[in-house]
Amino acid sequence: MFDNFFKTLRYSNSIFKSIFPYIIFILNLTAFADSKNNQNEYSQNNNQLKWEKVKTQSKNYKSEIKWEKYYDESDKGKHQLENIKKENNNHQSNLISDEEKINNSIKSFNRSIVINKKDVGPDISFLVPVGFKSSNKMNLDFSTRGWNRRPRNSSLFAWNNGDAVGQIFLNILKNEKSSFGLNLGIRSLYSGSQFSGGETNVGEGLSMGFRLDRAITDSSGLALGAEQLIQFDDQTDTGRDVYITYSKAFWNKKDENVFPFTIFTGGVGTGYFALWKDTKFACSDLFGGAAVDVNKYHQLCWGPFGAVSLVFNNKFSSFVEYNNYSFMIGSSIVPTNRIRLTFGLTLAESFDDYKVKNSDELRWFSRVSLGF
């Protein structure tokens, strides 16, 4: 068996040696033909001249010689260093620092925005819900919001037996385009006589809601949600607030993706979002009413709301909002990446047909939020 194998190998080797020169000859002919074709194509391409008119700045360009007198080598080096600094300053004046640049991706976190998918920014509203998709980074938010009352001849900044509520927002399900979360509301945060407003027990007015949102583009979003939807007692008067809301961010075209930018938010809602009688529509007894007054029943109606916000940077914003309960103007700051502070004034209210308040009638509102 092996004898036959080696005989075959020797026979194949002798055949290969006999035809090898012919193989080399054929390969050389092929290479020569290819080289001739390439030369012909090269010559043809060179023979087809294409003239193109090019604009230059030669007429406008003027050579300018600047003479400088140096006393020694150290003086020369000093002048050269100053010239380099001037050139760098001229270049940097036309550039924007990375801290001022943002991308078009805007997300939300309660009433705040999240910029560049990582920076928790300021609030852009007080009551008006934000339409942007919830952030994938932040999942849990605790907030306390409140406003004072203003009896006659009282101080603007006095609490005057005001009202405050607590809210907890939890982001449960999320992906790149949409998210779903729950919220918990607590009407009574304090009980006692040391401070005003402590007549109710802590935890009264417990309620729950939900939020489903989706990113339409990187700079816009739509949300369907409800706050105080399911109420575990009859002590909730902060409104059964079901809503549909949309938010969109706009940049100056000349400075796109750079602070400041503007956000428009608008939608329709129930409860506190439908308190003004002149804008109510589609009223019903659904879900057990509007829950805006513990002593009086109100039907669940729908009404419009909106807000315009100016985001100066990732730490500060100002906004004007119409929430159907009142016209408000406020500002928000972010001292840390987890804490947001919001403060503002109520300029007009629905119960008074939105008559603009004078200085003795103005009320303030505020919110403190802590996110994780």
Q: Provide the mean pLDDT of the chain.
A: 82
Provide the pLDDT confidence category of residue 118 given band limits of 50, 70 and 90. Answer: confident
Query: Has residue 35 got a pLDDT over 60?
Result: no
Query: Has residue 363 got a pLDDT over 80?
Result: yes
Query: Has residue 62 got a pLDDT over 60?
Result: no
pLDDT at 32: 47
Higher-confidence residue of 337 and 329: namely 329
Query: Has residue 192 got a pLDDT over 80?
Result: no
pLDDT at 256: 61
pLDDT at 3: 52
pLDDT at 258: 81
Range with the lowest mean pLDDT among 8-17, 189-198, 223-232, 352-361?
8-17
pLDDT at 25: 52
Provide the pLDDT confidence category of residue 93 given band limits of 50, 70 and 90. Answer: very low
Residue (of 263, 267, 269) closest to 306 by Cα position: 267
Question: 35 — phi, psi (to 5°)?
Answer: -65, -35
**Prediction pTM value:** 0.72
Predicted confidence (pLDDT) per residue in 204-235, tens digit: 889 999 999 999 999 999 999 999 999 999 88
Establish whether the linkage from the previous residue to 129 is cis, with ω within 30° of 0. Answer: no
Residue (of 118, 126, 198) closest to 161 by Cα position: 198
Rounded to whole angstroms, the Cα distance separating 132 from 126 reads 15
Query: Has residue 366 got a pLDDT over 70?
Result: yes
Alpha-carbon distances of 326 from 2, 47, 55, 292, rounded to whole Å: 103, 79, 61, 14
Rounded to whole angstroms, the Cα distance separating 340 from 331 reads 11
pLDDT at 103: 64
Query: Has residue 196 got a pLDDT over 60?
Result: no
Range with the lowest mean pLDDT among 157-161, 212-216, 264-268?
157-161
Q: Evaluate whether 308 touches 317 at the Cβ level (below 8 Å).
A: no
Q: What percent of the chain is modeled with pLDDT above 90?
A: 59
pLDDT at 101: 58
pLDDT at 66: 66
Q: What percent of the chain is modeled with pLDDT above 70?
A: 68
Provide the pLDDT confidence category of residue 161 given band limits of 50, 70 and 90. Answer: confident
Query: Has residue 273 got a pLDDT over 80?
Result: yes
Provide the pLDDT confidence category of residue 372 given band limits of 50, 70 and 90. Answer: very high
Average pLDDT in the 112-129 region?
93
User: Count of CB atoms within 10 A of residue 214's CB?
Assistant: 17
Q: Using H for helix, E for strand and C for coil, what is the string for the chain?
A: CHHHHHHHHHHHHHHHHHHHHHHHHHHHHHHHHHHHHHHHHHHHHHHCCCCCCCCCCCCCCCCCCCCCCCCCHHHHHHHHHHHHHHHHHHHHCCCCCCCCECCCCEEEECCEEEECCCEEEEECCCCCCCCCCECCCCCEEEEEEEECCCCCCCCCCCCCCCEEEEEEEEEEEECCCEEEEEEEEECCCCCCCCCCCCCCCCCCCEEEEEEEEEEEECCEEEEEEEEEEEECCCCCCCCCEEEEEEEEEECCHHHCCECCEEEEEEEEECHHHHCCCCCCEEEECHHHCCCCCCCCCCCEEEEEEEEEEEEEECCEEEEEEECCCEEEEEEEECCCCCEEEEEEEEEEEHHHCCCCCCCCCCEEEEEEEEEC
Residue (of 252, 211, 246) closest to 228 by Cα position: 211
Query: Has residue 85 got a pLDDT over 50?
Result: yes
pLDDT at 58: 47
Q: Evaluate whether 367 touches 342 at the Cβ level (below 8 Å).
A: yes
Beta-bridge partner residues of 76: none
Provide the pLDDT confidence category of residue 65 given band limits of 50, 70 and 90. Answer: low
Beta-bridge partner residues of 168: 142, 184
Residue 153 tokens, joined = 């001849």
